[in-house]
């Protein structure tokens, strides 16, 4: 619409930030080291970049207010996977990490109204790199 800001409303940004903070805490408890949050480049933005052992992990955080985290995970469709692959390759090239193993994880987070803490479902190695580029894990 004309005159509409391309930015998300404040409450969506707040909800997304809240979910990313919960995801970060969850991954740290698993022993991951967070190396970047909200990494931006011309291709878009990566939610979290972490290191698990010697593997670079690109983490997509998807959240919902409903009780079913599967709905949030299902939103990482082919187009999103293609975009995440481009973002990951940009990150690996910029940081000279192309010789490192890498993978994509999806953290599906639901915030049911009757619970104080979110339900987090971790999909490790959720999908392979998509497109004309190859990555390995």
**Could you give the dihedral angle defined by the CA atoms of residues 36, 91, 82 and 99, in that order, rounded to the nearest 10 degrees?**
-120
Sheet with 55-64, strands from edge to edge, namely 33-41, 44-52, 55-64, 102-110, 119-127
Segment 85-107 shows an average pLDDT of: 95
In-domain check, residue 136: no
In-domain check, residue 68: yes
> Lowest mean pLDDT: which of 65-74, 87-96, 113-122?
65-74
Helix (H, G, I), strand (E, B) or coil at 34: strand
Q: State the pLDDT at residue 134.
A: 54
In-domain check, residue 1: no
In-domain check, residue 98: yes
When divided into structural domains, the chain yields a total of 1
pLDDT of residue 30 exceeding 80? yes
CA-derived radius of gyration, the chain: 15
Segment 103-113 shows an average pLDDT of: 92
In-domain check, residue 134: no
- Which structural domain, as residue segments, surrounds residue 117? 10-127
The average confidence (pLDDT) of the chain is: 86
Segment 7-14 shows an average pLDDT of: 68
In-domain check, residue 16: yes
Q: In CATH, what number is assigned to the domain containing residue 74?
A: 3.40.1350.10
In-domain check, residue 55: yes
For the whole prediction, is pTM greater than 0.75?
Answer: yes
pLDDT digits (tens, 9 = 90+) for 55-70: 999 999 998 877 677 7
The percentage of the chain sitting over the pLDDT mark of 90, rounded to a whole number, equals 62
């Amino acid at each position: 619409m004309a005159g509409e800001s391309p930015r998300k409303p404040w409450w969506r940004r707040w909800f997304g930030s809240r979910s990313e903070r919960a995801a970060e805490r969850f991954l740290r408890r698993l022993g991951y080291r967070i190396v970047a949050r909200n990494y931006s480049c011309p291709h878009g933005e990566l939610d979290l970049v972490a290191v698990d052992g010697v593997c670079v992990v690109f983490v997509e955080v998807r959240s919902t207010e409903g009780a079913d985290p599967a709905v949030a995970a299902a939103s990482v469709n082919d187009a999103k996977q293609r975009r995440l692959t481009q973002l990951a390759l940009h990150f690996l090239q910029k940081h000279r990490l192309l010789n490192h193993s890498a993978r994509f994880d999806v953290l599906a987070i639901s915030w049911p109204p009757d619970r104080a803490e979110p339900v987090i479902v971790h999909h490790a190695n959720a999908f392979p790199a998509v497109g004309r580029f190859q990555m390995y894990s």
